[in-house]
Chain A
Amino acid sequence: MSFIVKFINNFADSFSEKFYQNLISENRWQLVIKGLLITLEVTFFAVLLGIAIGFVIAIIRSTYDTTLKPGILLRILNGISKVYLTVVRGTPVIIQLLIVYFVIFASVDVNKVVAAVIAFGINSGAYVAEIVRSGIMSVDKGQLEAGRSLGLNYFQTMTTIILPQALKNILPALGNEFIVLLKETSVSGYIALMDLTKAADTIRSRTYEAFFPLLTAAFVYLILVMILSAGVTRLERWLRKSDRR
C-alpha cells in the first residue's frame, strides 16, 4: 500500500514539472503540433488515393464477375487487380512503405510525405476495393436490371443506382478502414517522417521521459479517431434517410 501512496505522491509532485519539461520547454509542443499536421496530411491524401484506387478496382472486379463473356481488356484489368490485391494484402505495410521510399523512389529526391501518401494510399486501396466490391454485391441485381431496362448503360447504372446504394451499405466498414489507416500512419517514422508518433518518440529520446510524450500522442490519436467515427455516424444517418418508414 505504501508503495502506491508513494507513487501517487511522487506523481502529483512531479506532474507539472514533467508537463513543463516534455511539452513546454524548448517549444516541444510545436513538435507535437507539427507531427499531428503531418499525420493528418498523410492520412487525408492516402484516404483519397485509397478511395480512388479502391473504387476502380472494385468496379473492374465486379464487372468481370457479372459479365458472361468478358473481353480481353476486362480480363487483363481483372488480372492486374487480382495481383495487386494479393501482393498488397499479403505483405506488411511497413515493408511496403520502405519499398516505396527506398526502392521505388531510391534515385529520386521525393518528399517523404508524398512517399508516405503513395504507400498508404496503395495499401488502403486494396482493402477499400474489397469493401466496395462487397457493397456492390450486396445490392439486389434487380436494381441493375431495372436501370439497364430503362436504357441506361452499365456505367450510368453503376454510378447513379448501384454505387450510391452500395456506399450506404459499406459506410461502417469504410469508416473503420479509415480509422485503421489513420493509426497505421504511425509507422511513418520508419522513413524518418516526423509524424505524430515520431514526434512523441523524439521528445522521449531528448527528455528520457516516456510517460508524457507517449500518452500525449495516444490521447491525440484517440481524439482524432473519436472525431472520425462521429463524422461517419452522422454521414450514415444522413444516407439512411431513404430508409425511414
Chain B
Amino acid sequence: MIVVKNLHKTFDNEIEVLKGVDQHIKPGEKVVIVGPSGSGKSTFLRCLNLLEQPTQGEIWFDGQLINAKNVDIDKIRARMGMVFQHFNLFSHKTVLQNITLAPIKLKLLSPEEANNNALQLLRRVGLEDKADAYPSQISGGQKQRIAIVRSLAMNPKVMLFDEPTSALDPEMVGEVLDVMKELADSGMTMAVVTHEMGFAREIATRVLFMDDGKILEEAPPKEFFSNPKNPRLKEFLSKII
C-alpha cells in the first residue's frame, strides 16, 4: 500500500535526518516504529503524507508516486489519516464540527450525512455526549480520541500515528490505546510511531527500530523484543524495559 524507496530528508540546517529508508507497508499491516528521540522516526512518518517534503527518494501510495510533480497531494492526504502528538483539534470548532469540517468542505458528504457519520463515530469511542463541547472543555485523552475519529471520518485507507500518547497524562494513555487497538482489529492499515512497547508487542504485525536516520532492524514483535540482533536495539530495549 505504501512503498518507500531510498528516502532521504535533509532539513534547512543541513542536518540529514533520514539517510536512505526503504519500506513496504502492506494492506492491513500494523507497523510500529520505535527508536530514540532524534532518530528520524517522526520525520519518516511525516514524509509518508508529505507534511515533510523528501529531499531524495520515492514514496508510492496505492500504486502512485506521490512525491512526483503535478500530483494533487490534497487528494492523497484525504485518503491518509494522521494523528498528532498534540492532537491539533481546531480550537474554534466544536467536537462535532471538528469531525465534519473536512468531509463537508471537500464535498465528500452532505452536512446531514457528515453529522450522522460523526455521531456514529463518536458513539464508537464513547464520546457522543461531547459532540457540542469545545476542545478546551475536554481532557487530553478525549481530545486524542476525537482526533482519531476526525481522521476516520474521511474514511482513510491508512492511518498514521505520530506519538499519539506522548503528550497525555499516564492515566489517559489507556483510553487512547484502546481506540487504536479496536481500529487495528477492524483491519485498518496503520503506521505508528510510539514509545508504548506494550502496544507494539500486542498489536504490531511488524516493529521497526530506527536510529540515526536508518531502519536498523525490523521483525515481528515477538522476535523483535525477545531476540534483538542489532547491538543498538539491544541497548535501546535494555534502557526502556
Contacts and interface: CB of A to CB of B under 8 A. Distances in A.
A binds B: yes
Interface of A: 68, 140, 142-143, 145-153, 156, 160-161, 164-165, 168, 241-245
Please tell me the size bucket of the interface on B.
20 to 34
A151 B135 CA distance: 21
A168 B92 CA distance: 9
Given A150-B151, A156-B105, A165-B91, A142 B78 contact: no
- Where chain A touches its partner, the secondary structure class is helix
A50 B109 CA distance: 37
B236 interface: no
B65 interface: no
Interface string B74-88: 111111111010101
Contacts of A142: 84, 86, 88
A143, A152, A160, A242: most-surrounded residue (chain B CB, <10 A): A242
Contact of A160 (B76, B77, B82, B101): B101
B96 interface: no
B98 to A, nearest CB: 9
B75 A151 contact: yes
B77 A151 contact: yes
A244 B151 contact: no
Contacts of A241: 134
A148 B51 contact: yes
B74 A146 contact: no
B51 to A, nearest CB: 6
Contacts of A244: 134, 136-137
Interface in B124-159: 134-137, 147, 150-151, 154
Given A143-B90, A160-B101, A168-B92, A152 B137 contact: no
9 contacts: A146-B90, A149-B77, A151-B76, A151-B79, A152-B106, A156-B105, A161-B90, A164-B92, A242-B91
Contacts of A245: 136-137
A153 B72 CA distance: 10
B53 interface: yes
Given A243-B136, A244-B137, A160 B105 contact: yes
